[in-house]
Chain A
Amino acid sequence: MRMSSPILKIENLQAKVADEDLQILKGVDLELNAGEIHAIMGPNGSGKSTLAKILAGHPGYEVTGGSVTFEGEDILEAEPDERSQAGIFLAFQYPVEIPGVSIANFLRTALQAHSGDEELDLFEFSDLLMEKMEMLEMDPSFAERPVNDGFSGGEKKRNEILQMACLRPKLALMDETDSGLDIDALQIVAKGVNKLREDNPEMTILLITHYQRLLNYIKPDHVHVMVQGRIVQSGGPEVALKLEDDGYAEFIPAAAGEEG
Chain B
Amino acid sequence: MPQNETVQELGLDEYKYGFVDKEQHVFRTQPGLSEEVVRQISAHKEEPEWMLDFRLKALEIYESKPMPNWGGDLSGLQDTLDEIYFYVRPQDKMEHSWDDVPDNIKDTFEKLGIPEAEQKVLAGVGAQYESEMVYHSLKQEWDEKGVIFDSIEDGLKKHPELFKKYFGTVIPTADNKFSAMNSAVWSGGSFVYIPPGVELDTPLQAYFRVNQELMGQFERTLIIAGEGSRAHYVEGCTAPAYSTDSFHSGVIEIVVEKNAHFRYTTIQNWSHNMYNLVTQRSIVHENATMEWLDGNLGSKLTMKYPSCYLVGEGAHGNILSIAYSGDGQHQDTGGKIIHAAPNTTSSIVSKSISKGTGRSSYRGLLQVHDGARNAKSNVECDALLIDETAKTDTYPYIEIDEKSAHIGHEATVSKVGDEQLFYLMSRGMSEEEAMALIVRGFIEPIAKELPLEYAVELNRLIELEMEGSVG
Interface residues of A (CB under 8 A from B): 56-60, 79-81, 83-85, 89-90, 92, 95-96, 98-101, 105-106, 109-114, 117, 119, 146, 163, 167
Given known A60-B418, A100-B445, A119-B2, contact A95–B423 (CB-CB < 8 A): yes
Q: Are A84 and B428 in contact (CB under 8 A)?
A: yes
Q: How far is the CA of A143 from the CA of B444 in the complex (A)?
A: 16
Instruction: Write out the residue numbers on chain B whose beta carbons fall within 8 Å of the beta carbon of A106.
Output: 424, 427, 437
Instruction: Write out the residue numbers on chain A whose beta carbons fall within 8 Å of the beta carbon of B425.
Output: 57, 79-81, 84
What's the least CB distance linking B15 to chain A, in Å? 27
- Is B468 interfacial (CB-CB < 8 Å)? no
Q: Are B438 and A163 in contact (CB under 8 A)?
A: no
The proximity string for B residues 428-440 relative to A, scoring 1 for CB distances below 8 Å and 0 otherwise, is 1111010001101
| Other A-B pairs beyond A96-B419, A106-B437, A113-B429, 18, CB < 8 Å | A56-B426, A60-B418, A80-B426, A81-B428, A81-B431, A83-B426, A84-B425, A84-B427, A84-B428, A98-B437, A99-B442, A101-B441, A113-B428, A113-B430, A113-B433, A117-B2, A119-B2, A146-B441
Instruction: Write out the residue numbers on chain A whose beta carbons fall within 8 Å of the beta carbon of B418.
Output: 59-60
Residue ID in chain A nearest B420 by CB atoms: A96
Instruction: Write out the residue numbers on chain B whose beta carbons fall within 8 Å of the beta carbon of A81.
Output: 425-431
23 contacts between A and B (CB under 8 A): A57-B425, A57-B426, A79-B431, A80-B425, A81-B426, A81-B430, A83-B426, A84-B427, A85-B428, A92-B423, A98-B420, A98-B423, A98-B437, A99-B441, A100-B440, A100-B442, A101-B437, A101-B441, A106-B437, A109-B429, A109-B437, A114-B428, A163-B427
Instruction: Write out the residue numbers on chain A whose beta carbons fall within 8 Å of the beta carbon of B437.
Output: 98, 101, 105-106, 109
Instruction: Write out the residue numbers on chain A whose beta carbons fall within 8 Å of the beta carbon of B452.
Output: none
Q: Are A101 and B440 in contact (CB under 8 A)?
A: yes
Given known A99-B442, A163-B427, contact A109–B433 (CB-CB < 8 A): yes
Given known A101-B437, A101-B440, A109-B437, contact A167–B428 (CB-CB < 8 A): yes
Instruction: Write out the residue numbers on chain B whose beta carbons fall within 8 Å of the beta carbon of A105.
Output: 437
What's the least CB distance linking A172 to chain B, in Å? 12
Q: Are A110 and B427 in contact (CB under 8 A)?
A: yes
Instruction: Write out the residue numbers on chain A whose beta carbons fall within 8 Å of the beta carbon of B422.
Output: 56-59, 80, 96
Q: How far is the CA of A167 from the CA of B2 in the complex (A)?
A: 17
* Minimum-distance CB pairs A-B, first 5: A100-B441, A100-B444, A101-B441, A80-B425, A84-B428
Residue ID in chain B nearest A99 by CB atoms: B441
How many inter-chain residue pairs (CB < 8 Å) link A and B?
A: 85
Q: How far is the CA of A73 from the CA of B369 in the complex (A)?
A: 70
Q: Are B444 and A101 in contact (CB under 8 A)?
A: yes
Q: Are A110 and B423 in contact (CB under 8 A)?
A: no
Instruction: Write out the residue numbers on chain B whose beta carbons fall within 8 Å of the beta carbon of A111.
Output: 428
Residue ID in chain B nearest A80 by CB atoms: B425
Q: How far is the CA of A164 from the CA of B156 in the complex (A)?
A: 64
What's the least CB distance linking A242 to chain B, in Å? 33
Instruction: Write out the residue numbers on chain A whose beta carbons fall within 8 Å of the beta carbon of B417.
Output: 96
Residue ID in chain A nearest B414 by CB atoms: A99
Chain B 143-172 interface residues, beta-carbon cutoff 8 Å to A: none
- Is B121 interfacial (CB-CB < 8 Å)? no
Instruction: Write out the residue numbers on chain A whose beta carbons fall within 8 Å of the beta carbon of B438.
Output: 98, 101
Residue ID in chain B nearest A88 by CB atoms: B426
Most buried by A among B423, B426, B441: B426
- Is B443 interfacial (CB-CB < 8 Å)? yes
What's the least CB distance linking B72 to chain A, in Å? 28
- Is B1 interfacial (CB-CB < 8 Å)? yes
Instruction: Write out the residue numbers on chain B whose beta carbons fall within 8 Å of the beta carbon of A110.
Output: 424, 427-429
Residue ID in chain A nearest B446 by CB atoms: A100
Instruction: Write out the residue numbers on chain B whose beta carbons fall within 8 Å of the beta carbon of A85.
Output: 428
Q: How far is the CA of A109 from the CA of B431 in the complex (A)?
A: 13
Chain B 389-439 interface residues, beta-carbon cutoff 8 Å to A: 417-420, 422-431, 433, 437-438
Chain B 173-223 interface residues, beta-carbon cutoff 8 Å to A: none
What's the least CB distance linking A156 to chain B, in Å? 11
Most buried by A among B430, B433, B441: B441
Q: How far is the CA of A81 from the CA of B440 in the complex (A)?
A: 20
Given known A96-B419, A98-B441, A100-B443, contact A112–B426 (CB-CB < 8 A): no
Given known A56-B426, A57-B426, A80-B426, contact A112–B444 (CB-CB < 8 A): no
Residue ID in chain A nearest B436 by CB atoms: A109
Q: How far is the CA of A164 from the CA of B428 in the complex (A)?
A: 12
Instruction: Write out the residue numbers on chain A whose beta carbons fall within 8 Å of the beta carbon of B444.
Output: 99-101
Q: Are B419 and A113 in contact (CB under 8 A)?
A: no
Q: How far is the CA of A109 from the CA of B432 in the complex (A)?
A: 12
